[in-house]
Chain A
Amino acid sequence: MRPLLSVQGVSKRYGAHIGCADVSFDLYPGEVMGIVGESGSGKSTLLNCMAGHIAPDAGKVIFDTRADGPKDTVTMSEAQRRMLSRTDWAFVHQHARDGLRMGVSAGGNVGERLMAVGERHYGDIRGKATDWLERVEIDATRVDDRPTTFSGGMQQRLQIARNLVTGPRLVFMDEPTGGLDVSVQARLLDLLRGLVRDMGLSAIIVTHDLAVVRLLADRLMVMKSGRVVEAGLTDQVLDDPQHAYSQLLVSSVLQV
């Protein structure tokens, strides 16, 4: 089996400060990988380098494209990268308002991504949008309401619908449950798990919440000061951490 995403020696500096340094890993189809570490550990920089939001200073991000097989997304043209981010890639932001158009209706938010890949039939687009709102448990009667009238949890679910409607193969998530209260988090986690399994998605989830990675991620990378200090099977890294920093991270979680 060929990796869906192969990250090779990715580094990014901000002046003298290291964003992330020499990160390499392969992600296979259907795998969900978590990236944990404290604020400033470089996990968001790495995610943005992989998703094409930031150009890394060094390294390759090779994605197995549907049409042409493995291609380095760092060196491909801006137009090609933009096409990828509308079709095979999805990006779920921590704050739903960063990933939604707040002035457009819920149905419009979902339909917009379909139009971006060439769908033109109004009835089809509205039908698919309504279908996706139901899949993320938003009542179909809300299709014409703006996301400004939605709760935080609903906005996050709408962002997920908008991202998944085009059937992406790889989803980048930046703290997808951050800022939501715990009961809403649980519901979102359950939804994400089901979608990942039913659609065979691969995903990379950046979070500082170890409970979230335990439930969602197959594999885990622990970052500190821009470097990966430990990587492995999620439950193994959490239950038998090897690196001093991972041990500190796991033992610092408050028990409830």
Chain B
Amino acid sequence: MNTIAEHIADFLKEYPPFNNLTFQELSDIATNIRVHNLEKHAILFQNNDVLHDSFYVVASGVINLTTIADAEETIINKCHEGDIFGLRPFFAKNNYMMTAKAREESIIYAIPIAVFRPFVANNSDVLNFLLESFSINSRHTKDNANSNGKLIPESAYIDQQSEMQYVQSLVYNNSPLTTEGHHIVKDVAILMTEAMVDNIVVCEKNHPIGIVTDADLSSKIATGRYPITETIDKIMSSPVVTVIENVSLAEAQLLMLKHNVSHLCVTKDGTSKSSVKGIISEHDLIVAQASNPGVLIKEIKRSQLPKDLKQIRDRLSDLIQNSIQKNIPISHISNIASEINLAIIKRAVELSILDLGSPPARFAWLSIGSQGRKEQLLLTDQDSILIFEDVTPEKYREVKDYFLRLGKRTTAILEKVGYEYCPNGHMGSNMLWCKSLTDWTKQYNSWMNTPGENSNDLSSIFFDYEIVFGEPKIEEVIENVIFKNAVNNTLFFDFLGNDALKRNSPLSFFKKFIVEEEGPHKTKFDIKTRALMPLIDSARLLILNANIKGIKNTYLRFKQLAITDSKNAEIYLSCAEAFLTLSKFRTVEGLKNDDSGQYINLREMSKTDKEKLKNALNPMKDLEELIKSKFQLTQFS
């Protein structure tokens, strides 16, 4: 009896591969565990270290796995609570090929290989999981197996990679719809429609004798070859191709090609003479293979829980990281990322509506700030507003109440997904920012016509918005209000101009970076407020002034300005490029540290990178002059 061993067993049983073992087995394993504490930046093992006699499970904290290629440290993976790593001793004899370093103070469990090996040998699920994890290092990036592999210039590693593809197991529908041969086609079709599936297995004594898919229905019923009152066994495809449980991706693919079918029936012993366990569709294969944006969006639309959304958001981070490492242009990445973010927020609103019932009035949920500009690459805080159509005074209270609840629920879901609440409360759940259309119109009128007077809370982020959910007309109305007010509104532009230029400059007189002088980010460079914000603010100011609607992205705004205001095209274009470069620096930093990337650690930067960063800051000076002359700003508040 060992209390702590049981606690550890309790912890382990939540995570694969341990969830395949019994509690007693886990307790035995836990008894043999050693618990290590790693201080921040402590190294557990390094590239080329002799293998340890244990593998590791993260109990708390984050461990970064990195390799060194071309003299550059590349993060292969981040291991979070419950992830396993350091599996090399199971499968290979040569030294470690990566470095495991604590990103923050971490506690890890060391499980001796000798203790765990018998469980691996006796349990194929455990073996498969370990094999898979070995090649990709951590389970939550399962889908990126291919792209991760390419980062590592180890031939041995890549071999394992393709091997992995082969053994990668499939997730499929394991409670398929079944029916019996004597049922009527129409009833079966109704059943399928209700369950929203495209296939049904026809069974006899629970053994599969055939399958009916949408294709059968369209080719045999819709064409009139069989009447709709026929029994189902007349139109089913038979025999059905059966496979055993735990079929691998590659095997399933081959079988489908060989038999030219779109579905495989999983049975207990793999023959058609045993009970049905599940159905694998082509779609399952695609999902298993790809973590491409399309699949992510599709999955978002189907998610039911914040947890599912969170997992998808995590995969998006992996996708972003891989894309950056592959040098895909940042404008491209941010387009994709913002579409996915948009889909997540939209789904969050939908889920809330599903909970609360249909809204009592038409409304629009707008993302503001970075997501409104479609520039959100990292998990930053959420900014949103809610506008609902005007209702009669007696209904107003009830309606506002509903939308406030909707706002609260949605923001809470998003918080669970990983978007922090806005520290300034700029969210649709806030009384102030959940208003009727008339109130919003008044709000914008007062902001724009009397800036700075009774509007301390005028935040320029309200001028970047993007509809996420609801009635597009409402967004149009607000847009018209803004642009109508903007015409010849010197006061407003004066205000915005001063706001854009009041930020501290990024470089000192001697072209040195101005870094934080105190606080937790001492000696780091604040790329967000010193470099990105001025560009973003300026772009917004200029585009509003030029009265150009519908362009919401800073990069595109500069591009558009270069066309409209062609005599200054050069400045605008260099700003557009600079913006991309700076965003990339910020994103890379943010991914490295799992934060918003606001502060860049200059000491960790190479000399060329520093030069690049400095060059990206150069166009700002010209832009500042341009704004000053354009809006005749001579003095600054």
| A joins B in a complex | no
- Seen from chain A, the residues whose Cβ lies within 8 Å of a Cβ on chain B are none
